[in-house]
């Protein structure tokens, strides 16, 4: 074989081999998300390796957020049991109940013969999850602490449920929506309202640093007025509420300003009370680490954009 022929053959081989090599390298970079490959072994957020021989046909969910993710992935038909708090989508309400998040009934779960139980690390009792595992039922736990971790959980559960492509697509769509909110917040005129996210009105308990609600406020371009207090959910006295001086108050899943003690709402030193900037949001939206957290982000962003528009209008009126 001549030198020229050998060079030509070598080029042909490389042209065919390099794309395969690139694909192989990509798969190594994201082995869990490359395809629905069974049997499957995946480490959960506890560090436990969960093994499945085939895509699960009978799934029990021990948290509303997980139930919402399963439906998002198009695998709602595999759910045979959920908690009594699983109310979204509507089809979840009709599924057999296995108790609550903090008090799941092990016997009921076992009676449903699941081949996978989805659980959380910070809501479900460890001893009950351990009891299920000791009976040979695989339990996969997630513990998302921020929006990006929620998106990753959607991708990982997609692989686990045999819907890897759907998981990647849904997570990507949610990331794009969240990015639009971030971009809009960066494009504001610098006005950053102080925001208090209230989860209880009597007593007043707010979401502090390190919570999902704190992240929603920051991504939407606001300042968490509760960040000055210690703890993830600080309890505020009337004096502390006045000192925080929030421009906007979000109330999670309650009726609104009328649920505050009357003596609190009379404090005109609190801009949110003075200006009527108290907004009620669905508690399920803002407290569940699932797909609808992005909807909550969009609503927080829209409310803060409205506050900025009113602030600009008030400023313009004062200059005339």
> Is there a domain that residue 71 lies in?
yes
Q: What are the structure tokens assigned to 186, written together? A: 């960066």
- Least confident range of 232-236, 237-241, 254-258: 254-258
Measured distance CA(189)–CA(91) in Å, rounded: 43
- Least confident range of 64-73, 112-121, 244-253, 306-315: 306-315
Domain C-terminal end among 128, 146, 178: 178
Please indicate, yes or no, whether residues 201 and 150 belong to a single structural domain of this protein: no
> Is there a domain that residue 235 lies in?
yes
Q: Is the CA virtual torsion 306, 312, 314, 317 positive or negative? A: negative
> Is there a domain that residue 27 lies in?
no
Please indicate, yes or no, whether residues 76 and 52 belong to a single structural domain of this protein: yes
Please indicate, yes or no, whether residues 202 and 292 belong to a single structural domain of this protein: yes
> Is there a domain that residue 123 lies in?
yes
Please report, for residues 108, 123, 150, 215, the alpha-carbon distance to residue 97 in angstroms, rounded to integers and kept in the order given.
8, 17, 24, 32
Please indicate, yes or no, whether residues 174 and 212 belong to a single structural domain of this protein: no
Mean pLDDT of the chain: 86
Please indicate, yes or no, whether residues 219 and 136 belong to a single structural domain of this protein: no
**Residue 27: per-residue pLDDT:** 34
Q: How many domains does the chain have?
A: 2
pLDDT in tens, 169-195: 999 999 999 999 999 998 776 678 999
Please indicate, yes or no, whether residues 148 and 62 belong to a single structural domain of this protein: yes
Please indicate, yes or no, whether residues 166 and 46 belong to a single structural domain of this protein: yes
Q: What are the strands, taking DSSP E only, across the chain? A: 40-43, 49-52, 59-61, 79-81, 116-120, 139-142, 194-201, 204-206, 223-224, 235-236, 248-252, 278-281
Please report, for residues 125, 174, 191, 244, 250, the alpha-carbon distance to residue 225 in angstroms, rounded to integers and kept in the order given.
33, 27, 14, 6, 11
Residue of 174, 155, 169 whose CA lies nearest to 30: 155
Measured distance CA(181)–CA(186) in Å, rounded: 9
Please indicate, yes or no, whether residues 44 and 166 belong to a single structural domain of this protein: yes
Measured distance CA(199)–CA(197) in Å, rounded: 7
Please indicate, yes or no, whether residues 155 and 58 belong to a single structural domain of this protein: yes
pLDDT in tens, 204-234: 899 999 999 999 999 999 999 999 999 999 9
> Is there a domain that residue 224 lies in?
yes
Q: Is the pLDDT of residue 37 over 80?
A: yes
Please indicate, yes or no, whether residues 202 and 309 belong to a single structural domain of this protein: yes
Domain C-terminal end among 178, 199, 216: 178
pLDDT in tens, 271-296: 998 888 999 999 899 989 999 999 99
Measured distance CA(130)–CA(181) in Å, rounded: 40
**Residue 266: per-residue pLDDT:** 67
Please indicate, yes or no, whether residues 156 and 257 belong to a single structural domain of this protein: no
Domain C-terminal end among 120, 143, 178: 178
Cα(first)–Cα(last) distance of the chain, in Å?
90
**Residue 171: per-residue pLDDT:** 98
> Is there a domain that residue 11 lies in?
no
Q: What CATH number has the domain bearing residue 278?
A: 3.40.50.1980
Q: What are the strands, taking DSSP E only, across 239-309? A: 248-252, 278-281
**Residue 18: per-residue pLDDT:** 37
Q: Encode 169-200: b = buried (16+ Cβ within 10 Å), e = exposed.
A: ebbeebeeebeebeebbeeeeeebbbbbbbbe
Please indicate, yes or no, whether residues 236 and 257 belong to a single structural domain of this protein: yes
The residue range of the domain holding 277 is 191-319
> Is there a domain that residue 8 lies in?
no
> Is there a domain that residue 5 lies in?
no
């Amino acid at each position: 074989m001549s030198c020229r022929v050998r060079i030509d053959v070598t080029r042909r081989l490389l042209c065919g081999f390099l794309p395969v090599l690139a694909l192989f390298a990509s798969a190594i970079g994201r082995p869990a998300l490359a395809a629905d490959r069974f049997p499957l072994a995946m480490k959960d957020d506890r560090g436990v390796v969960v093994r499945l021989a085939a895509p699960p046909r009978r799934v029990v969910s021990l948290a509303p957020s997980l139930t919402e993710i399963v439906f998002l992935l198009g695998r709602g038909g595999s759910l045979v049991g959920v908690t009594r708090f699983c109310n979204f989508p509507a089809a979840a309400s009709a599924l057999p109940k296995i108790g609550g998040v903090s008090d799941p009934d092990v016997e009921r779960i076992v009676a449903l013969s699941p081949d996978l139980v989805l659980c959380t690390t910070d809501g479900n009792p460890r001893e009950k999850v351990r009891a299920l595992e000791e009976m040979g039922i695989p339990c996969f736990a997630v513990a998302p602490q921020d929006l990006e971790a929620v998106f990753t959980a959607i991708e990982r559960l997609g692989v686990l449920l045999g819907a890897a492509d759907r998981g990647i697509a849904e997570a990507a769509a949610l990331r794009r929506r969240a990015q639009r909110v971030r971009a809009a917040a960066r494009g504001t005129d610098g006005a950053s309202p102080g925001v208090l996210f209230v989860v209880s009105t009597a007593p007043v308990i707010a979401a502090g640093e390190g919570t999902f609600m704190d992240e929603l406020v920051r991504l939407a371009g606001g300042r968490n007025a509760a960040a000055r207090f210690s703890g993830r959910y600080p309890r505020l006295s009337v004096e502390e509420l006045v000192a925080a001086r929030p421009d906007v108050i979000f109330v999670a899943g309650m009726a609104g300003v009328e649920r505050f003690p009357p003596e609190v709402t009379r404090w005109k030193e609190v801009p949110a009370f003075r200006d009527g900037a108290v907004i009620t949001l669905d508690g399920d939206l803002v407290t569940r680490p699932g797909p609808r957290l992005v909807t909550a982000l969009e609503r927080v962003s829209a409310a803060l954009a409205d506050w900025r528009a009113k602030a600009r209008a008030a400023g313009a009126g004062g200059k005339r």
